[in-house]
Structures are given as C-alpha cells and as structure tokens.
Copies of this chain bind each other. A is one copy, B any other.
C-alpha cells in the first residue's frame, strides 16, 4: 500500500465530516452569527474544546464547511453547463442539479445566502473580498455560457453578465421557496417555468393561441 489510510486518519476525517455537518445544521437553524461554538459542539455530541483539535478557530470551521459544500454544488452544475448541447438543455440540466442539491442540503442554503453579504468586522476585509470574488466568478462563468449562446445565434444579444445575474438570482429565489415549502411541486414544473420564462418570455405569443 502506497498511501495507507491509517486508523487515525479515518477517525480524524470522520470527526471533521461530522463537525461540518453539525455546523451546517446549527447555522441553518440559528444563522451564521447566531451559531455559537457551544451549539455546534452540542449538535455534534462533543465538547467545545474538541472542535479546536480539528479547526484553528471559528472562522476556519465556517469557512471550510462552506467551501466543502459549495465545491460540490459547483461541480455538479458545471458538469451540466460544460457540454455542447443547446443552451436550453444546459439550463434545464443545471437547474435540475441545483434543485436536487438543495433538496438534499437544505440547511446549506442559509450559509450560501449569508456568505454573499458578510458581516463587516473591520479586520476581515480580505475574506469578504474572497467570497465576493467567488460569487463573481460564478456569474462570469454563467455569463460566458450565455455569451456563447449569443454567438451561436441561439439567443439575442444583451449584456450577458446582467442576464446571468438576473437568471441566477431569480432561480435562487425559487429554490429558496422550495426549501421553505414542506411539500414543493415537482422539480420539473419549476425548471420548466424558469427556462421557458427566460427563453420565451411570458407574453402571449402567436404560437400560444
């Protein structure tokens, strides 16, 4: 065995994993600022001090937890976006991925939203910058997808970055609603609503008559 995972490593990874899951649950319940280390420790069933064996401080815990979850989301969405299919199908597939992700990780949404407008404790300007940059790079990627579709002649020319913002946040709003609802409608219905609204518009057309 070249890289044997020792027993200790397995245990350590398990602890880290369960601490991050506990963090997500607590943040979902009480918000980022409202989640105390004691809450998280209780949720994970360990003592507060134990957390500091695996994470330097509170910031690192929240940061890593966020990073972990968002990386997975982005991986899935990118898989759907980076194909040669028509824009319509790519949008459908990526929406589907996002909806499924938040169905399984509803607690994560709060963290996801909150990171967009971080609290301005004066010395943490660097971290604020990082998350804004991360968000911006996501929007730029989506904008690039739209721009490509414009070049292909699939959609008309508008500011692609603004279109990406509009589409992404409009979509987020509906996903948030789904997370809140205890019995949301079928995912297909919302995917259809979003994609057809943005591609065809909602105005009555000749073809609708």
Interface residues of A (CB under 8 A from B): 29-34, 110, 113-114, 116-122, 153-156, 158-159, 162-163, 165-174, 177, 185, 189-190, 193-194, 196-205, 208
Question: Shortest distance in angstroms between A62's beta carbon and chain B's nearest beta carbon?
Answer: 13
Chain B residues in 8 Å Cβ range of A29: 120
- Separation of A156 and B193 alpha carbons in the complex (Å): 11
> Of B166, B170, B189, B204, which contacts A155 at CB under 8 A?
B204
Chain B residues in 8 Å Cβ range of A118: 31
> Of B33, B159, B167, B193, which contacts A162 at CB under 8 A?
B193
Query: Are B197 and A202 in contact (CB-based, < 8 A)?
Result: no
Query: Are A120 and B170 in contact (CB-based, < 8 A)?
Result: no
Q: Would A198 and B199 be within 8 Å (CB), given that A120-B34, A153-B204, A166-B174 are in contact?
A: no
Query: Are A202 and B204 in contact (CB-based, < 8 A)?
Result: no
- Separation of A91 and B207 alpha carbons in the complex (Å): 24
> Of B31, B120, B204, which contacts A154 at CB under 8 A?
B204
> Of B110, B154, B202, which contacts A117 at CB under 8 A?
B110
- Separation of A169 and B190 alpha carbons in the complex (Å): 15
Query: Are B201 and A201 in contact (CB-based, < 8 A)?
Result: yes
Q: Would A168 and B173 be within 8 Å (CB), given that A30-B122, A31-B119, A200-B203 are in contact?
A: yes
- Separation of A153 and B205 alpha carbons in the complex (Å): 10
- Separation of A122 and B185 alpha carbons in the complex (Å): 30
Question: Shortest distance in angstroms between A196's beta carbon and chain B's nearest beta carbon?
Answer: 8
> Of B113, B156, B173, which contacts A208 at CB under 8 A?
B156
Which 8 residue pairs spanning A and B have beta carbons closest together?
A170-B170, A169-B173, A201-B201, A30-B120, A31-B119, A166-B170, A200-B201, A165-B173
- Separation of A165 and B121 alpha carbons in the complex (Å): 31
Chain B residues in 8 Å Cβ range of A30: 119-122
